[in-house]
């Protein structure tokens, strides 16, 4: 579902717009956990802001329900017309099953270790799906109040989750059959991540959340597209097909979330541009920021550095995404804003050029990085 590259933190006054590897107000319990009798998250986030949306804004999302039913739900596919993970994998019990598995293993041998680090990190992020639905259901004005609500927002959330669920399932089974990774270490990492939760910094605010998911879904579309490109380069066309198929799902979801924000700019431009500036200033917190395998406290930074080096998702991609959304939502052309809104508009419109300068520094740092051992690939070294 979600994966953005981690970039170094820089002092740009209020312009802290990157997925920085540092986790303020967080701790890694590490060995402390082994001394506890009770379960506790391996990493903690404190001082979270909540319920920042004024109560009267809830009515905006209530008023958008008919729009959402007409324009949002069409971006979900009926189950009977959807692909399933089994469509791409050897079918257990079928004639030729073992031969197909052997062919998959042989193709996987041509893929380098750093590719499997990225693929495993992407899969773990997708597998943390329960947290994404949980966060959606904390949002004021759009949450699923009963778990089976027929509100268009609730129907979208469950349908989106159901579609995304297939991504982790498919990549998980592929990695297992490939024989190239330590599945137990990967499974532990997934359990740690779900147990730690995620800090999107959206404050139960759907304005913030829908901006966040627009960026995330576009980033994931790009990321899976690049893993497909690399798989094809290494000669595994079937894996390339898997990654391309997942990327197509992410593209549909990107379109849907981008449309929501576009509608919010039409209905309530001042609040929306303030939310966009807010999400940029405090950094878009990555879903896998708290990723942990029981050993490496810097696992997210190391995984992101590998993705940067491979060109799966880079600082340049992030800069281009900022530029894309500023143009897509016509932020520069907004009118009728408050003085605070105009300041937010100016801040956001200046971001792309600032980010491009920092992208060059991030690339220089990546080129000087050392090698790191990853437990996911049985502690083999890769360049980060």
Candidate from 66-70, 286-290, 367-371 with smallest mean pLDDT: 367-371
**pLDDT value of residue 315:** 84
Report if pTM > 0.95. Answer: no
How many residues belong to the chain?
Answer: 384
> Active site includes 249?
yes
Q: Is the pLDDT of residue 60 over 80?
A: yes
Candidate from 155-159, 182-186, 267-271, 365-369 with smallest mean pLDDT: 365-369
Q: CA torsion, points 384, 226, 254, 356, in degrees to nearest 10?
A: 50
Q: What is the arithmetic mean of pLDDT over 61-70? A: 98
Q: Which helix (H) or strand (E) holds 27?
A: strand 26-28
- Phi/psi at 98 (5° precision): -65, -35
Catalytic residue of the set 217, 236, 254, 293: 217
pLDDT digits over 353-363, tens only?
A: 888 777 767 66
Give the confidence band of 126 by pLDDT, cuts at 50, 70, 90.
very high
Evaluate whether residue 335 is within a structural domain: yes
Evaluate whether residue 179 is within a structural domain: yes
Evaluate whether residue 124 is within a structural domain: yes
User: Which residues, other chains included, contact 254 with Cβ-Cβ below 8 Å and sequence gap of 6+?
Assistant: 214, 217, 218, 221
pLDDT digits over 225-248, tens only?
A: 999 999 999 999 999 999 999 999
Q: What is the arithmetic mean of pLDDT over 173-198? A: 97
Average pLDDT score over the chain: 90
**pLDDT value of residue 362:** 63
Q: Please give the share of the chain, as a percent, with pLDDT higher than 90.
A: 79
Which structure tokens are listed for 199?
């800090």
**pLDDT value of residue 358:** 73
**pLDDT value of residue 352:** 85
> Active site includes 241?
no
> Active site includes 140?
no
Supply the range of the domain harboring residue 160: 62-383
Q: What is the arithmetic mean of pLDDT over 86-92? A: 96
Give the confidence band of 384 by pLDDT, cuts at 50, 70, 90.
confident
Task: Locate all alpha helices (DSSP H) within the chain, ordered by sequence.
Answer: 31-34, 58-63, 65-71, 97-108, 113-127, 129-136, 152-178, 183-196, 206-233, 237-267, 269-281, 299-310, 315-328, 339-367
Q: Which residues are annotated as a binding site?
A: 126, 164, 167, 217, 250, 253
Evaluate whether residue 30 is within a structural domain: no
The residue that leads in pLDDT, 20 or 197, is 197
Candidate from 24-33, 154-163, 300-309 with smallest mean pLDDT: 24-33
Q: What is the arithmetic mean of pLDDT over 272-288? A: 90
**pLDDT value of residue 366:** 57
Q: Is the pLDDT of residue 114 over 80?
A: yes
Q: Which residues are annotated as a binding site for Fe cation?
A: 126, 164, 167, 217, 250, 253
Q: Could you give the number of structural domains in the chain?
A: 1
Yes or no: say if 205 and 140 are a contact pair by the CB < 8 Å rule. Answer: yes
Evaluate whether residue 15 is within a structural domain: no
CATH number of the domain within which 322 lies: 1.10.620.20
> Active site includes 126?
yes
Q: Is the pLDDT of residue 290 over 60?
A: yes
Q: What is the arithmetic mean of pLDDT over 144-165? A: 98
Reduced to 3 states (helix: H, G, I; strand: E, B; else coil), residue 21 is coil
Evaluate whether residue 221 is within a structural domain: yes
pLDDT digits over 248-279, tens only?
A: 999 999 999 999 999 999 999 999 999 999 99
> Active site includes 80?
no
> Active site includes 199?
no
Yes or no: say if 100 and 177 are a contact pair by the CB < 8 Å rule. Answer: no
**pLDDT value of residue 36:** 59
Evaluate whether residue 210 is within a structural domain: yes
**pLDDT value of residue 364:** 65
Nearest-10 crossing angle of helices 152-178, 129-136? 170
**pLDDT value of residue 159:** 98
Reduced to 3 states (helix: H, G, I; strand: E, B; else coil), residue 381 is strand
Q: How far apart are the C-alpha atoms of 228 and 126, rounded to whole Å?
A: 16
Evaluate whether residue 1 is within a structural domain: no
């Amino acid at each position: 579902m979600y994966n953005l590259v981690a970039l170094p933190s820089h002092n740009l006054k209020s312009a802290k717009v990157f997925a920085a590897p540092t986790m303020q107000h967080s701790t890694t319990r590490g060995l402390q956990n082994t001394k506890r009798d009770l379960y506790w998250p391996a990493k903690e986030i404190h001082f979270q802001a909540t319920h920042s949306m004024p109560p009267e804004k809830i009515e905006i999302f209530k008023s958008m329900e008919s729009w959402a039913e007409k324009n949002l739900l069409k971006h979900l596919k009926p189950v009977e017309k959807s692909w399933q993970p089994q469509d791409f994998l050897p079918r257990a019990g079928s004639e030729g099953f073992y031969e197909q598995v052997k062919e998959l293993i042989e193709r996987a041998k041509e893929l380098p270790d750093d590719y499997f680090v990225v693929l495993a990190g992407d899969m773990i992020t997708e597998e943390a799906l329960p947290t994404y639905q949980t966060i959606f259901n904390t949002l004021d004005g759009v949450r699923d109040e009963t778990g089976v609500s027929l509100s268009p927002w609730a129907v979208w959330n469950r349908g989106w989750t159901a579609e995304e669920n297939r991504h982790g399932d498919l990549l998980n089974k592929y990695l297992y059959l490939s024989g190239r990774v330590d599945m137990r270490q990967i499974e532990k990492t997934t359990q740690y991540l779900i147990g730690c939760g995620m800090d999107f910094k959206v404050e139960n605010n759907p304005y913030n959340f829908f901006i966040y998911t627009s960026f995330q879904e576009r980033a994931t579309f790009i990321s899976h597209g690049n893993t497909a490109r690399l798989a094809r380069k290494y000669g595994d066309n079937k894996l390339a097909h898997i990654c391309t198929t997942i990327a197509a799902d992410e593209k549909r979801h990107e379109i849907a979330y981008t449309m929501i924000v576009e509608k919010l700019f039409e209905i309530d431009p001042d609040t929306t541009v303030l939310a966009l500036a807010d999400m940029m200033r405090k950094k878009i917190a990555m879903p896998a920021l708290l990723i942990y395998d029981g050993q490496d406290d810097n696992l997210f930074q190391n995984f992101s550095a590998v993705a940067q080096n491979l060109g799966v998702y880079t600082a340049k991609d992030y800069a281009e995404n900022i530029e894309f959304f500023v143009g897509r939502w016509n932020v520069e052309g907004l009118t009728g804003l408050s003085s605070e809104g105009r300041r937010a508009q100016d801040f956001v419109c200046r971001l792309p050029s600032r980010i491009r300068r920092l992208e060059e520094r991030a690339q220089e740092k990546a080129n000087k990085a050392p090698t790191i051992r990853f437990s996911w690939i049985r502690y083999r070294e890769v360049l980060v």
